[in-house]
């Protein structure tokens, strides 16, 4: 089973809202990732967690705040976003940080 | 850092024909090359991958070839079917890069019935 699940599937939020995206995997993977994907572009890495610790932050604005409560869960907290943050947010996981990454279906975020 | 170029950006083929997508990379240290298929409204799905100690890998109608000397790798899809229509991304990475995937720009493949 190589399933990564993400909720919600779609999210519409205003610029003053606070919302969270959730990602879950039960494959025993110890590395988890957040990516942002704009239309007709490849995914762009945002954050990497390895063994529940943040190991890479690709200079992402502080209005995006990741959290890894345990080895199966990854959250992305959103606050004071801008319309240009509208995108597909993808979660991925891998056995370790040097292993194959498996992506979830994504959350389509629209910021009004 | 690594740079991956992917061609063509769009590819239209007749059902049953073959499709070939080519990628070149710049970092000779790259040693892992996955290919992802992304259907509309879905996340990227790994379809095949190859490591630098292998020159070719096949999985049913899909094959990937790697030329380390020339620093390019290709995806070959034979006997294309309408369900092969999607955007395909190549990627490259290395341990030195911490497995950070550098993606190509993507190829939109349309298989016409």
Nearest CA distance, B108 vs chain A (angstrom): 9
Chain A interface includes B46 (CB < 8 A)? yes
Q: What is the pLDDT of residues A69-78, one digit of tens each?
A: 999 999 999 9
Q: CA geometry: angle at A48 spanning B102 and A37, to 5°?
A: 55
Does B45 contact A at CB distance below 8 Å? yes
Determine the residue among B44, B49, B92, B97 to mutate to test chain A binding: the one whose Cβ has the most chain A Cβ atoms within 10 Å.
B44
E strands, chain A, where? Answer: 4-7, 10-13, 18-25, 31-37, 44-50, 53-57, 64-70, 73-79, 87-94, 102-103, 107-111
Residue-wise pLDDT for B65-77, tens only, equals: 999 999 999 999 9
Mean pLDDT of B9-26: 98
- Whether residues B99 and A102 touch (CB distance < 8 A) is answered with no
């Amino acid at each position: 089973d190589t399933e990564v699940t993400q909720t919600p599937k779609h999210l519409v939020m205003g610029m003053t809202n606070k919302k969270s995206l959730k990602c879950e995997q039960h494959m025993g993977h110890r590395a988890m990732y957040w990516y942002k994907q704009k239309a007709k572009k490849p995914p762009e890495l945002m954050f990497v967690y390895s063994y529940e610790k943040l190991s890479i932050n690709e200079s992402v604005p502080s209005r995006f705040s990741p959290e890894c409560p345990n080895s199966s869960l990854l959250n992305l907290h959103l606050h004071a976003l801008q319309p240009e943050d509208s995108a597909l947010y993808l979660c991925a996981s891998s056995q370790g940080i040097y292993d194959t990454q498996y992506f979830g279906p994504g959350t389509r975020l629209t910021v009004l | 850092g690594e740079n991956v170029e992917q061609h063509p950006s769009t590819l239209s083929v007749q059902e049953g024909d073959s499709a070939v997508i080519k990628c070149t990379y710049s970092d000779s240290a790259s040693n892992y090359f996955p290919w992802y298929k992304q259907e509309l409204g879905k996340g990227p799905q790994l379809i095949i991958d190859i490591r630098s100690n292998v020159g070719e890998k096949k999985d049913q109608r899909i094959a990937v070839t790697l030329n380390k000397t020339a620093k390019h790798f290709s995806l070959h899809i034979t006997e294309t079917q309408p369900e092969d229509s999607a955007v395909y991304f190549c990627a490259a990475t290395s341990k030195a890069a911490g497995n950070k995937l550098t993606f190509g720009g993507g190829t939109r493949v349309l298989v016409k019935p």
